[in-house]
Amino acid sequence: MAEELNERSQNILEAIVEDYISSAEPVGSRAITKRHSFNLSPASVRNVMSDLEEMGFLCSPHTSAGRVPTEKGFHYYIDSLLQVRDLSKEEETRLRQNYRFQGMKMEDIMQEVGRVMSGLSNYTGLVMAPKFASTVFRQIEFVRLSHGRLLVIYVSETGLVQNKVIEGVPDLSSHELEQISNYLNHELTGLSIQDVREKIARELQTERSNYDRLQKQALSLSSTALQDEAGDLIFVSGTSLMLEQPEFSTPDQMKRIIKTLESKSTLIELLDQSQTAQGVQIFIGSQSQHVEIEGCSLVTSSFSNKKGAIGTLGVIGPVRMPYSEVIPIVDFTAQLVSRILEREAE
């Protein structure tokens, strides 16, 4: 990937990528010389293009079509040629105005973030809410349902609300439940779920005799309640925008894309991958092992509050994507969401 290109080759590669991004069609030597004013003839451009093809940056669908950037070509473009300008103050304001989070709960915010990001970029928006396990305990409440069934409501520092039904618990009075939740809220506030689990496991093991029945009950209940990972919360918005892309215009491709976006498991894996890194990340097509998203590119960024509850958001679209526009949108949105989470956490 560290291959050197002279300036002319770079310029031409850049021109080809950009023309291809806006047209979605193979670009020929003549088109290049027309649209960009290099002082070169088509023939010279052809020579360069031929070199670029040999190096694997371009390929031609067939002899008499123009050239199309390969994934390697896109990579080079993104790594070395792309200039992402920051958003101007006005643009930022404009973007910010699209978001209205007044009085929204976590899920709604995530959903809304996806919708707006999708609308701004014109690509399909993905948002993965912070994982349950990565959240910080704020509060737990119990609600009695029918006999032996209990609804547990768990609120994280960031305002993420999880509820879960647990069955086969001994019947407890409202008063007892209240005591239990008071006890737990007092003991656990501020700990990460990871810590909470460890703490509970530890205390349950020691079985200190000075615990009263209710305390034991409380520990056992919370253990059950926080036990297994709640399913990943992932929000996909603007699915149909994918279908507008010329690269996914055949019925078969449409089916493939829709199925992929529908099942979500692939998306979760992809978003998980980019979770660790800082700032905007770009995954191009087959770079990942997922065949399902062949021809797709993912622009993502993670968000978090200071306490580290991490989620990931981004957009997915064809490899041929106007990165210079999409990247700032994703970047800004991630920062914005981080700030909102901070605010939620006080």
Query: What is the contact surface with DNA in residues (CB under 7 A)?
Result: 26-31, 39-44, 46-47, 49-50, 53, 60-67
262 binds, among a copy of itself, DNA, none (CB under 5 to 8 A by kind): a copy of itself
Residue pair 30/69 in contact by the 8 Å Cβ criterion: no
49 binds, among a copy of itself, DNA, none (CB under 5 to 8 A by kind): DNA
- Which residue number, 23 or 189, has a Cβ lying nearer to DNA? 23
Q: Which of DNA, a copy of itself, none interacts with 82 (beta carbon under 5 to 8 A by kind)?
A: none
Q: Which is nearer to a copy of itself, 15 or 316 (CB)?
A: 316
CB of 177 to a copy of itself, least distance (A): 11
Q: Judged by CB, which is closer to DNA: 65, or 165? A: 65
CA–CA gap between residue 221 and residue 218 (Å, rounded): 5
Q: 185 with 139: CB under 8 angstroms?
A: yes
d(CA 261, CA 258) in angstroms, rounded, equals 5
**Residue carrying the six token digits 């991004």:** 21
Q: How far apart are CA 193 and CA 137, in angstroms?
A: 6
Pick what 239 binds: a copy of itself, DNA, none; C-beta below 5 to 8 Å, kind-dependent. a copy of itself
Q: Which is nearer to DNA, 31 or 296 (CB)?
A: 31
Q: Smallest gap, in angstroms, from Cβ of residue 102 to a copy of itself?
A: 6
Tokens representing 323? 């990165």
Q: Reduced to 3 states, what is the DSSP secondary structure of residue 94? A: helix
**Ramachandran assignment for 7, one of left (phi > 0), alpha (psi -120 to 50 degrees), beta (any other):** alpha
Q: How far is CA 214 from CA 96, 139, 147, 219, 226, in A?
A: 49, 18, 19, 9, 18
Query: What one-letter code names the amino acid at 247?
Result: E
> Which is nearer to a copy of itself, 202 or 259 (by Cβ)?
259
Identify which of residues 159 and 328 has a Cβ nearer to a copy of itself in the complex: 159
CB of 229 to a copy of itself, least distance (A): 14
Q: Which does 249 bind (CB under 5 to 8 A by kind): a copy of itself, DNA, none?
A: a copy of itself
Q: Which two tokens stand for residue 201?
A: 């496991």
Q: Are 328 and 313 in contact, with CB atoms under 8 Å apart?
A: no
Q: Among residues 49 and 95, whose Cβ is nearest to DNA?
A: 49
Residue 83 CB, shortest distance to DNA, in Å, is 25
Cα angle 200, 205, 210; round to 5: 90
Asked whether 5 and 13 are in contact (CB, 8 A), the reply is yes
Sequence-distant (≥ 6) Cβ neighbours of residue 36 within 8 angstroms: 11, 15
Binding residues vs a copy of itself (CB under 8 A): 102-105, 138-139, 141, 143, 145-147, 149, 151, 153, 155, 159, 161, 163-167, 178, 238-240, 243-244, 249-251, 254-255, 258-259, 262, 343-346
* 40: partner contacted, choices DNA, a copy of itself, none (Cβ within 5-8 A by kind): DNA
- Least distance to DNA from the beta carbon of 253, Å? 15
